[in-house]
Amino acid sequence: MKKAIPIIKLLLLLCIVIVIPANIVLYHHDIIDKFENFEDVIAFLEHYHWQSILVYIAIQTVQVIISVIPGQAFQFAAGYLYTFLPGLLFSLIGAALGTFVSFFLAKVLGKDAIHLFLGEAKTAYYVERLNSRRAYAIVFLIYLIPGIPKDIVSYAAGISEMEFHPFFIFSMMGRLPGMAGSLLIGALYMREHYVWMGIVAAVAIIAFVAGVIYRKKLHGYLDKLYDKVTH
């Protein structure tokens, strides 16, 4: 029973991470289609009037937990409906809640099974490496680079030996530029500032290229941040 319970918990976690998203993709794709169109998302949120703020935060939270639900159109819509700074605040609250839930779901349901499979020696080996500067720098870069699937990372971190506090800080910092860019474009679209939308997109591309060129300096800043948040 001591060995069976961790395995049952792991299967439950796999159901949340894999089975539910797969079911949505295969049998309820209309949910995804409904939330991919910018105008449809705006109409959906406007239907709830002032309560749309709570609905938006809830959807941002669920989008992190069930990663197949698209979040980009919602962030554009938040910038359009709530303007930049309020939209950014609501988005960060939702992302923070989703990260917290998914991380600790994985830790409660999956960590014991991983320890069972790996054994004490390999677990100790991974503890040392997963709580290193490089591991958290990789987390930051995964969340920073556009196009990389991100939300599954919080489950992987929860199962691993990563500590929540530094993981949360690095992941939220990585989310921030892309999230801010999406919200800003939505806010500019509301005011029909199409030229500024192009400028924001150009700045984002330049910042990405600069990050690649000056990646060593970026790693240096991340190392200093790691020392601050872990001591």
Residue that wins the pLDDT comparison between 1 and 13: 13
**What is the Rg, in whole angstroms, of the alpha carbon atoms belonging to the chain?**
19
Q: How many helices (H) and strands (E) does the chain have?
A: 12, 0
Mean pLDDT (whole number) for 46-50? 87
Does residue 214 surpass a pLDDT of 90? no
Length of the chain measured in residues: 231
Looking at the predicted structure, is the pLDDT value of residue 194 above 80? Answer: no
pLDDT of 119? 67
pLDDT band at 120 (very low <50, low <70, confident <90, very high): low
Q: Can you tell me the distance from the alpha carbon of 107 to that of 78, in angstroms, rounded to the nearest whole number?
A: 31
- pLDDT tens readout for residues 164-178: 999 999 999 988 988
- CA gap 60, 72 in Å, rounded: 10
What pLDDT sits at residue 211? 67
- With bands split at pLDDT 50, 70 and 90, how would you rate the model's confidence at 55? very high
> Taking a C-beta distance cutoff of 8 angstroms, is the pair 92, 61 a contact?
no
Q: Position of tokens 């997109």?
A: 201
Under the banding of pLDDT at 50, 70 and 90, the label for residue 34 is confident
Cβ-defined contacts of 17-23 (< 8 Å, 24+): 17/152, 17/155, 20/66, 21/66, 21/67, 21/68
Neighbours of 139 (CB within 10 A): 26
Residues of the chain with pLDDT > 90, as a percent, come to 17
Residue 221 pLDDT more than 70? yes
pLDDT for 146-158, tens place per residue? 666 677 888 888 8
Q: Among the ranges 76-80, 89-93, 172-176, which has the highest mean pLDDT value?
A: 89-93
- pLDDT band (50, 70, 90) for residue 73: confident
Q: Residue 53's pLDDT band (boundaries 50, 70, 90)?
A: very high
- Would you call 220 exposed, middle or buried from its count of C-beta atoms within 10 A (0-12, 13-18, 19+)? exposed
Q: Who contacts 186 (Cβ-Cβ below 8 Å, separation ≥6)?
A: 75, 76, 77, 78, 79, 80, 87
Separation between Cα atoms, residue 182 and residue 185, nearest integer Å: 5
Angstrom distance (rounded) from CA 168 to CA 103 = 9
Q: What is the mean pLDDT of residues 72-92?
A: 89
Judge whether 70 and 33 are in contact, CB under 8 Å: no
Look up the pTM and report it: 0.83
Angle 56-35-154 from CA coordinates, rounded to 5°? 65
